[in-house]
Amino acid sequence: MAEIQLRNIGKRWGSFVGVDNFDLTIADKEFLVLLGPSGCGKTTTMRMIAGLEDATEGDILVDGQRVNDMEPKDRDVAMVFQSYALYPNLNVYENIRFPLRVRGVDPSTHDEKVRRASAMVELDDFLHRKPAELSGGQRQRVALARAIVRQPNVFLMDEPLSNLDAKLRVSTRAQIKNLSHELAVTTIYVTHDQIEAMTLADRVVIMKRGVVQQVGTPVDIYDRPANAFVASFIGNPAMNLVEGEISGGTFRAKHVEISGLNVPDGTITLGFRAEDANVAESGGQINAPIYTMELLGDATMVSVRIGGALVSVKADKNYRAEIDETVSISVAPEQCHLFDATTGARVGS
Ligand SMILES: Nc1ncnc2c1ncn2[C@@H]1O[C@H](COP(=O)(O)OP(=O)(O)O)[C@@H](O)[C@H]1O
Ligand SMILES: [Mg+2]
């Protein structure tokens, strides 16, 4: 059992703020993903939880007990990093066994524990190999097995898939998801990859420059991004964002006129997702020359340019047109997200 409470934790180096006012309770057995661009404070947050970095503000509690002053080795956490950090001279078996030896776990239990952990990550046939004789994916699985082997209360994983090629990332991601279901241990997982975050998380925390932007389930965050930054970070492609003026419930920008919006007059950033719009015969709310078209296999992505921004819509896979030909795009007002043009905060719908 491990519920983690982060009470307004922060990290400063001199005047530089790495993490600011991070306040969140992570439920027992929750899979929480910290997501954000490089440098936004994800690793620092995780290192504070592990005890590898002192929090300069706030309290960290595990099951109600304050752990700020507890040594990393006394916090019952296991970390998996982007670099596997395996011992090159030890074979897979001994690498996985290592944490048990260090922690003085009863040696008569080692073999069973190592075999169970290695079976979970499908390494049973590689126990005699040295790390140099393994692929990147296999090495990362050794690192996972080494984290699993001593059954910690908390898993911390920092971009564990970044060194793997695209195909292996997908299969290892699936394995981590399955493993986390099986282990049911509180997990905090760091990534800059929104697809990883959306596929793995019970809840996602999106950070920007040390500040939490939104906390929610993947569905919450996808359906109701709290601000334009989150909207631009989640989804593939990212949400279309267009700047324009609202007057009497109608949004206008060059090539765009969308009525039926329920917000006060003023400058607005309007967003909608490629999959929430359609190519129309004519009479759509956006009429603009085609900038580019991309065949995706199951659909054709049609893009136009509006005020310098690329706006994409998913059309039928058989859709054909020429670049510079005018395309009409229909967007229902209820599919539009509206953000304050200055602060980026969500307004209205
Ligand atoms: N020891 C340090 N001293 C000063 N600044 C640091 C230190 N470690 C990290 N930072 C800064 O803190 C910010 C957050 O870093 P980090 O948590 O590693 O980001 P992320 O993991 O999201 O990429 C970055 O701007 C980074 O340069
Ligand atoms: Mg990092």
Each residue of 110-120: pLDDT tens digit?
A: 999 999 999 98
DSSP helix/strand/coil, 18? strand
Residue 44 binned pLDDT confidence (cut-offs 50, 70, 90) = very high
Average pLDDT, the chain: 94
Nearest to 219 by CA among 199, 238, 233, 239: 199
Geometric angle at alpha carbon 242, from 308 and 223, rounded to 5°: 135
Ligand 1 nearest atom to the CA of residue 159, by list position: 21
Structure confidence at residue 26 (pLDDT) = 98
pLDDT of 349 > 60? The answer is no
The strand order across the sheet containing 211-216 reads 77-80, 154-158, 186-191, 31-35, 203-208, 211-216
Q: How far is the CA of 43 from the centre of ligand 1 (A)?
A: 7
Site to probe by mutation for ligand 1, drawn from 13, 45, 213 as the one with most ligand atoms within 8 Å of Cβ, is 13
Q: Which residue has the higher pLDDT, 182 or 258?
A: 258
pLDDT computed for residue 206 by the predictor: 98
108 C-alpha vs ligand 2 centroid, how far in Å? 38
Query: Which of 78, 79, 51 shows the shortest CA–CA distance to 67?
Result: 51
CA angle 231, 235, 237 (to 5 degrees): 105
Q: How many A from CA of 170 to the centre of ligand 1?
A: 27
Domains and CATH numbers, the chain: 4-229 (3.40.50.300), 238-347 (2.40.50.140)
Least confident of 73-77, 88-92, 112-116: 73-77
Amino acid at 286: I
Element (H, E) at 250: strand 250-253
Per residue in 301-319, is it b (16+ CB within 10 Å) or e — as a string?
bbbbebeeeebbbbbeeeb
Alpha-carbon torsion (183, 185, 190, 194), positive or negative: positive
Q: How far apart are CA 314 and CA 296, in angstroms?
A: 9
* Cβ neighbours around 119 below 10 Å, total: 11
Q: What is the pLDDT of residues 204-213, one digit of tens each?
A: 999 999 999 9
Cα of 207 from ligand 1 centre, angstroms: 13
Distance CA 232, CA 110 (A): 48
Judge whether 129 and 87 are in contact, CB under 8 Å.
Answer: no
Closest ligand 1 atom to residue 45 Cα is 17
Tokens 């126990």 belong to which residue?
A: 127
- Residue 336 near residue 271, CB atoms below 8 Å: yes
Q: What is the pLDDT of residue 167?
A: 81
Pocket of ligand 1 (CB under 6 A): 13, 16, 18, 36, 38-44
* Per-residue pLDDT tens digits for 93-106: 999 999 999 989 99
Q: Is 321 helix (H, G, I), strand (E, B) or coil?
A: coil
When mean pLDDT is compared across 5-9, 47-51, 159-163, 255-259, the lowest value belongs to 159-163
Pair 305, 291: CB distance under 8 Å = yes
Closest Cα to atom 21, ligand 1: which residue? 43
Say how many Å lie between the CA of residue 13 and the centre of ligand 1.
9
List residues bridging with 312 in a β-sheet.
303
Could you report the per-residue pLDDT of 127-138, keeping only the tens digit for each? Answer: 999 999 998 889
- Which whole-number Å values give the CA distances from 136 to 120, 144, 237, 328, in the listed order? 17, 12, 29, 47
